[in-house]
Amino acid sequence: MTDILTIAAVIGIPSAVMIVLLVRYFSIKLIYLNTRFNVIGNPNMSSTRLADALATGDRREAAKRLATRYFPIEDAAGIDEADSRMKQANRELLGEALEVVPKRVRPFYQVMMMSHEIDEVRDACATLEDGNEVTIDPVGRIDSTLAGKMSRSETAGELMSMYLAEIGEVVDEPRDADLDAAYLRAMARASGRLRGISGRPLRDILTARIDSELVLLAIRMHLHGTGDKLAELDIPEGDTVAPWMLTEIASDPSKGVGSLAGTDLDGISELKDPVEIERALHRTTFDMAERVYTRRFMSIGPLTRFLLFREFETANVRAVLMGAAAGMEWTAVERATITEEAA
């Protein structure tokens, strides 16, 4: 704000007038939410805090160390419950953002909410496949009515079909990978709708995330023994990742990522371990979130970085809780975390 007011003074615009213009352009609600998210911060992006929690050697004590008002996990009965609480908090914070962000950039945050919808569907499918009853919580486009219908599903396929139909995707005998494909197509559509000074950096983030998600999908399909089915999916082409590269990665990730040498994802071309590859891909999003924070500080920057970092925080906390329960050392758990110190 100070820099902008200084520039305004140089070109002859009174500070009071400039403040009025800023408030009219960036709704007061958005300014308030940016300020609030800055105050909340992302404490569980600190490697020191995570390592100290892990060092307790106890899952419950680690949860107490990492708990905050927006990570209400101090008395969670187990890791799954802690994870559920963190995701619910993330959904509520994202919901607040969707209410105040300008319409022209809303597709970016709607896609973020879609990832929560898919998480809910996947968790429910896993519960069904374990032979247990399902209770689906409303999230995003899954309203209470649809949640009730989906909760009465008898098979994972039926449940996925209901969700996919709700978002306009018709798939015969859907598989888990069809959820990924639908998400990738939604990301590509959202990217094409982002324009203007605020939309461009968000479009860049989505473009990079599509490349990352394509690579991760290929790796997951390889690990599940379905790499040869990748070509059957209706997925968008990446900006950096060509279809033939994905085919090689799905066939053998340790060799296939070598095809990314010389691209924007050159940094992972020599990696072999899927965990290291995933971490490096997430680091790309981390770096872009930092850039949008700096370059769009007066508008969607703080809010966007906060929400993206919340995703990393949730994964970090889960990794630490699992590590504490298993008696693991920080050097082992650190490989699965994204922190501000690990540049």
pLDDT of 343:
52
Q: Is the pLDDT of residue 218 over 80?
A: yes
What backbone torsions phi and psi does residue 75 show, to the nearest 5 degrees?
A: -120, 25
In a domain, 64, yes or no: yes
In a domain, 186, yes or no: no
pLDDT of 10:
41
pLDDT of 5:
40
pLDDT mean across residues, the chain: 90
Q: Name the residue range of residue 152's domain.
A: 105-174
Q: How many domains does the chain have?
A: 2
Q: Is the pLDDT of residue 15 over 70?
A: no
Residue 16: band (very low, low, confident or very high) from pLDDT cuts 50, 70, 90: low
Distance CA 130, CA 155 (A): 11
pLDDT of 170:
86
Asked whether residue 41 falls in the same domain as residue 146, the answer is: no
- Phi-psi region at 338: left, alpha or beta (left = phi > 0; alpha = psi -120 to 50): beta
Asked whether residue 223 falls in the same domain as residue 312, the answer is: yes
Lowest mean per-residue pLDDT among 17-26, 122-131, 238-247, 310-319 = 17-26
Q: Is the pLDDT of residue 4 over 50?
A: no
Asked whether residue 90 falls in the same domain as residue 28, the answer is: yes
Q: Which residues contact 260 (CB under 8 A, 6 or more apart)?
A: 215, 240, 241, 245, 266, 268, 269
Q: Which residues contact 294 (CB under 8 A, 6 or more apart)?
A: 301
Asked whether residue 146 falls in the same domain as residue 256, the answer is: no
The full 3-state SS of 130-167, as one line of letters, equals CCCCCCCCCECCECHHHHHHHHCCCCHHHHHHHHHHHC
Asked whether residue 100 falls in the same domain as residue 157, the answer is: no
Distance CA 146, CA 206 (A): 28
Q: What is the mean pLDDT of residues 319-325?
A: 96
Asked whether residue 87 falls in the same domain as residue 36, the answer is: yes
Q: What is the mean pLDDT of residues 252-272?
A: 91
Q: Is the pLDDT of residue 81 over 60?
A: yes
Q: Is the pLDDT of residue 95 over 60?
A: yes
Asked whether residue 51 falls in the same domain as residue 74, the answer is: yes
Tens of pLDDT, residue by residue over 98-155, are: 999 999 999 999 999 999 999 999 999 999 999 999 999 999 999 999 999 999 999 9
In a domain, 343, yes or no: no
